[in-house]
Amino acid sequence: MKLKQTIKLFSLLGLLSFGISGYAQTETELTHNAPTLQVGLDGLNFAKGTLDAELIMQIVAEKQKEVGLKLVQNMFLSKVNTAGGAFYSFTDNIIRGVVSERDINVITKKLLENTVNITFTYAFADYYIRTIQSEYLADFNSLAQCNSIKAISSNKNFTITDLKLGLRSLKQEAPLATLTEDVSLNPNITKMIALMADMSSEVIRNNATLKELGIMQVSYAQSYEYLNEYKKLELESPSDFAIAKRIYMSMEATLAQYTNMIGLLYYGLRANSYRLNVNNVLKNIGKTSVITSVADIQTKIGNVNSDLQIITANMQKLMQNSSDTTKFNRLYKAIAEIQQIKSYTSKAESYFNGISSIPVSTDSQALGINSDVVYTLYADIIPKLRSAGIWDSKADESVQRLEEICKFIYASYANDDTNMLKAHGSGANIEKFLSILSVAYQFDRANTFSNSVKLLSDLETIFPNERIKDALVFINAYIRDFVAVYKDTNGKEYIGVNVESLISRLSAVKSDKLRRGSVLFNVGVNTTYFPNELLLEDGSKITNFSFVSEKIGFKWKFFDKSFWQTRNPGETYTIGGTKYKKTATPSEPVISNMHAIVYGSGILYNIFNTGTTKNFNAPMIGTGLGISFFNSLDFNVTAGFPILRKGDSGKSGFIGFGFDFPFTEYIKRLSEKNRDKKNKELIAEVASSTKNL
């Protein structure tokens, strides 16, 4: 007897566990120090011992939800496991950040970092291919043809013109797939695109300037190293890796040239407020400057410092004569800012007094300093001086002088034939990379994130692989939908994440493969009929019994219309090993599936009688057939028997029917009911206390 009880106990524990687990006083002081990116039914009581019923129900519901989200996470990761380390890491970090993290600040940080990182990676890889230098074209073709990649045949060579579409130039080599073909199309093209993205990622991670800014410095799982196509090539084919290494070094040199002129890029793309076209900026900026030499800069910057002393003295007089507290405080703050400005412009004056020309072609260190001077003057000091103009008109004169300095420095580089600032080309697509890089000193700002989000849709079109596309489309969509830039009462922008809605959408995601079997954990109302009268312990007999209880067990679907009919056109899915592509518009059937179930009731919770019979509380085991409606309501016709303490359970069989719904909906409603009850009690208590006063 004890052996049977022990077996029963372990069987129930196994069933329960299965139900839960299913689912700047040196030159360097003039360089810009940028911020880092890495910034109901109350009668359903648990009566088996003294455990807290509500707590257990909440934990079970949470565990079910966690398992469901984990299944969604695994599905998305399986879709991008051929997209290379960079894209896999992006998907993993985004999904894991939402599913696993509890701190909203951590979730926001992960979304910000990873969105900026992947768009930067894509934009640079795409830019490099579009603008590839002729001396590296042969290596690029050799890499695409090598035995490890085989993206193109040995008799096919890309030309400079062929690559003007960047990464999409590679995608065009992939043939169109039919419904009977594998949705990955040409896996070798996918591998080549993944390789270029991973090389871009590694170049960015190892760039000294970007490393200080925190770009691509997020934590990576071991899967990044394992799936990184560039690192895999190093291990698997040294000869092919040697070709890739030459391309990698070319990418390093290209990026290094641009990261040394972030300030100049920022100025060049924004100096014309009505237009951001790169070519027009290159042609027009600097042409009207009255400065013709560094000696003119020395004079202008000296005049600015003299003006700042006068402005400070005038503002101090205004402050001393002011009886208005608000005005006094504003002047105090403005004077402090003027002092900070003068501290920087004094160092700039010392720097320019030490040089005789702008060495545009020979000195990369000078390029970095001059670029950062332009950025600091244009993005920081000039806006502050404009604000100070309300107190003293000399501030406006200083603004004009500083603008002239910026124009001269920028024109010195933009008009030099050997400098990349002039050679970077034109076009909206190239501008994507330059515009992202130009705000590298502002990656901690909300508007930078917004600009990155705008590029997310580009990621969806670069891989000739429907599974990768499906995953990226979904992830990019929920970033756009649930992550937004807001303004607080002081007008400061911040990034907000609607985590609840985001998780809700994740929970509603369907697998791309139909899984007919699933764990059953429902609650509902049931009616049973005993063909043979059931003798109860008190001597009474029953033939009909209505009750509320749980059903825990297993569900097998014969068909599931909701699996495919609710999908959007173009989505791919698999049923029984056969792959399909949805072509019709989505619809939601009233009856979503037909199924069979095997279950137990009264195992975790007492059976709650809804009729006149109050003495029956035996667990039940049953099986049945049923249908599920669009709103997750199940109707089942069942047969089974109760597990009686006395008598022959096998002769006490029943037939019945019932309506059930997921346990998670029950616990949600129960929590809402208890919360409302507590709120009413609190209101009543406050009202009573107020009345007594």
Greatest mean pLDDT among 277-291, 294-308, 387-401 lies in 294-308
Compute the average pLDDT of residues 125-142.
Answer: 91
- Give me the pLDDT at residue 346, please: 92
Distance between CA 590 and CA 562 in Å, rounded?
A: 9
- Give me the pLDDT at residue 23, please: 37
Residue 628 lies in a domain: yes
542: amino acid identity, one letter: I
Residue 585 lies in a domain: yes
Residue 232 lies in a domain: no
Residue 634 lies in a domain: yes
- Give me the pLDDT at residue 201, please: 93
| Domain count of the fold of the chain | 2
Greatest mean pLDDT among 196-210, 273-287, 575-589 lies in 196-210
- Give me the pLDDT at residue 619, please: 85
- Give me the pLDDT at residue 517, please: 86
The pTM for the full model equals: 0.69
Q: Which of 391, 406, 427 is the last residue of a domain?
A: 427
Give me the percent of the chain exceeding a pLDDT of 90. 17
Contact criterion met (CB below 8 Å) for 97 and 531 = no
- Looking at the fold, whether 644 and 552 belong to one and the same domain comes out as yes
Backbone torsion region of residue 518, taken as left when φ is above 0, otherwise alpha when ψ lies between -120 and 50, otherwise beta: beta
In which band, very low, low, confident or very high, does the pLDDT at 198 lie, cut at 50, 70 and 90?
very high
- Looking at the fold, whether 421 and 529 belong to one and the same domain comes out as no
Residue 671 lies in a domain: no
Given a cut of 80, whether residue 612 has pLDDT beyond it is: no
- Give me the pLDDT at residue 273, please: 44
- Of residues 428 and 405, more confidently modeled: 405
- Contacts of 634 by beta carbon, 8 Å cutoff, 6+ apart: 522, 524, 595, 626, 627, 628, 659, 660, 661
Contact criterion met (CB below 8 Å) for 479 and 118 = no
- Give me the pLDDT at residue 121, please: 92
Tokens of 311: 């402005």
SS3 label, residue 508: coil
**Lowest-confidence region among 219-228, 341-350, 426-435, 544-553:** 426-435
Strands 517-535 and 493-497: unpaired
| pLDDT per position as a tens digit, 494-503 | 777 776 666 6
Compute the average pLDDT of residues 104-128.
Answer: 85
CA distances in angstroms from 592 to 315, 557, 589, 623, 627, listed in the order given: 74, 10, 6, 20, 7
Instruction: Report residue 657: phi and psi, to 5°.
Output: -145, 165
In which band, very low, low, confident or very high, does the pLDDT at 523 lie, cut at 50, 70 and 90?
confident
**Lowest-confidence region among 63-72, 80-89, 369-378:** 63-72
In which band, very low, low, confident or very high, does the pLDDT at 41 lie, cut at 50, 70 and 90?
very low
Distance between CA 671 and CA 667 in Å, rounded?
A: 6
Helices (H), 415-529: 420-423, 428-438, 446-459, 466-482, 499-507
How many residues are listed for the chain in this entry?
693
CA angle 230/232/233 to nearest 5° reads 65
Distance between CA 455 and CA 667 in Å, rounded?
A: 40
- Contacts of 457 by beta carbon, 8 Å cutoff, 6+ apart: 476
Contact criterion met (CB below 8 Å) for 499 and 107 = yes
**Radius of gyration, alpha carbons of the chain:** 34
- Contacts of 42 by beta carbon, 8 Å cutoff, 6+ apart: none
- Looking at the fold, whether 419 and 516 belong to one and the same domain comes out as no
- Give me the pLDDT at residue 174, please: 58
Distance between CA 230 and CA 235 in Å, rounded?
A: 9
Given a cut of 70, whether residue 34 has pLDDT beyond it is: no
Helices (H), 179-285: 187-205, 208-213, 222-227, 229-236, 238-259, 262-270, 278-284
In which band, very low, low, confident or very high, does the pLDDT at 693 lie, cut at 50, 70 and 90?
low
- Give me the pLDDT at residue 275, please: 42
- Of residues 183 and 374, more confidently modeled: 374
Compute the average pLDDT of residues 177-195.
Answer: 67
Given a cut of 70, whether residue 240 has pLDDT beyond it is: yes
Compute the average pLDDT of residues 545-567.
Answer: 85
DSSP letter for each residue of 148-162: TT--S-TT----TTG
- Looking at the fold, whether 413 and 301 belong to one and the same domain comes out as yes
Helices (H), 101-165: 104-130, 137-145
Distance between CA 18 and CA 12 in Å, rounded?
A: 10
SS3 label, residue 690: helix
Distance between CA 93 and CA 81 in Å, rounded?
A: 14
**Lowest-confidence region among 380-389, 396-405, 605-614:** 605-614
Compute the average pLDDT of residues 303-332.
Answer: 86
Compute the average pLDDT of residues 81-94.
Answer: 88
Neighbours of 298 (CB within 10 A): 17
Burial of residue 352 (CB within 10 Å: 0-12, 13-18, 19+) is buried
| pLDDT per position as a tens digit, 461-490 | 888 887 888 888 888 887 877 777 777 777
**Lowest-confidence region among 153-157, 342-346, 437-441, 567-571:** 567-571
In which band, very low, low, confident or very high, does the pLDDT at 220 lie, cut at 50, 70 and 90?
low
Distance between CA 243 and CA 151 in Å, rounded?
A: 15
- Give me the pLDDT at residue 649, please: 57
- Looking at the fold, whether 655 and 524 belong to one and the same domain comes out as yes
Average pLDDT, the chain: 77
| pLDDT per position as a tens digit, 338-374 | 889 999 999 999 999 998 888 776 677 888 899 999 9
- Give me the pLDDT at residue 428, please: 42
Greatest mean pLDDT among 535-544, 555-564, 680-689 lies in 555-564
- Give me the pLDDT at residue 277, please: 44
Residue 497 lies in a domain: no
Residue 320 lies in a domain: yes
Tokens of 472: 């990226």
CA angle 366/370/375 to nearest 5° reads 150
- Looking at the fold, whether 403 and 527 belong to one and the same domain comes out as no
In which band, very low, low, confident or very high, does the pLDDT at 634 lie, cut at 50, 70 and 90?
very high
| pLDDT per position as a tens digit, 427-443 | 444 467 888 888 888 87
In which band, very low, low, confident or very high, does the pLDDT at 39 lie, cut at 50, 70 and 90?
very low
Q: Which domain holds residue 310?
A: 294-427
- Of residues 416 and 47, more confidently modeled: 416
Given a cut of 80, whether residue 384 has pLDDT beyond it is: yes
Q: Which of 427, 445, 479 is the last residue of a domain?
A: 427
In which band, very low, low, confident or very high, does the pLDDT at 636 lie, cut at 50, 70 and 90?
very high
Given a cut of 60, whether residue 115 has pLDDT beyond it is: yes
Distance between CA 15 and CA 599 in Å, rounded?
A: 10
CA distances in angstroms from 656 to 385, 526, 618, listed in the order given: 82, 7, 16
Reported as half-sphere exposure (CB side, CA atoms, 13 A), residue 477 has a value of 11
- Give me the pLDDT at residue 281, please: 45
Residue 346 lies in a domain: yes
In which band, very low, low, confident or very high, does the pLDDT at 247 lie, cut at 50, 70 and 90?
very high
Distance between CA 307 and CA 384 in Å, rounded?
A: 15
- Looking at the fold, whether 517 and 657 belong to one and the same domain comes out as yes
Tokens of 443: 């990656």
Distance between CA 264 and CA 366 in Å, rounded?
A: 13
Given a cut of 70, whether residue 184 has pLDDT beyond it is: no
Distance of CA 9 to the CA centre of its chain: 44
